[in-house]
Amino acid sequence: MSRVGTFEILDTDRNSRARRGRLWTAHGPVETPVFMPVGTQATVKAMTPLELETAGAEIVLGNTYHLYVRPGLATIERHGGLHRFMGWDRPILTDSGGFQVFSLSKLRKIRPDGVEFSSHVDGSRLFLGPREAMDIQRRLGSDIAMVFDECPPYPCTAEYACQAVERTLSWAALCAESRSGNGQLVFGIVQGGEFAELRMRCARELTAIGFDGYAVGGVSVGEPETVMLEATRHGVRELPFERPRYLMGVGVMRQMLEAISLGVDMFDCVMPTRYARHGTALTRFGKYPVKAGEYKDDLRPVEEGCGCYCCSRFSRSYVRHLMNVGEILGVRLLTIHNIHRFMEFMREIQRALETGSFEEFRAAFYEQQKEKER
| Residues noted as catalytic | 95, 268
Helix H or strand E segment including 28: strand 28-32
The answer to whether the CB of 148 falls within 8 A of the CB of 108 is no
**Cβ-Cβ contacts under 8 Å for 18 (sequence gap 6 or more):** 12, 33, 260, 261, 263, 349, 353, 358
SS3 61: strand
What's the rounded Cα separation, in Å, for the pair 353 and 218? 28
Cis amide bond preceding 71, omega within 30? yes
Q: Which of 217, 245, 362 is nearest to 9 (CA)?
A: 245
What type of residue sits at position 266? M
What's the rounded Cα separation, in Å, for the pair 371 and 169? 45
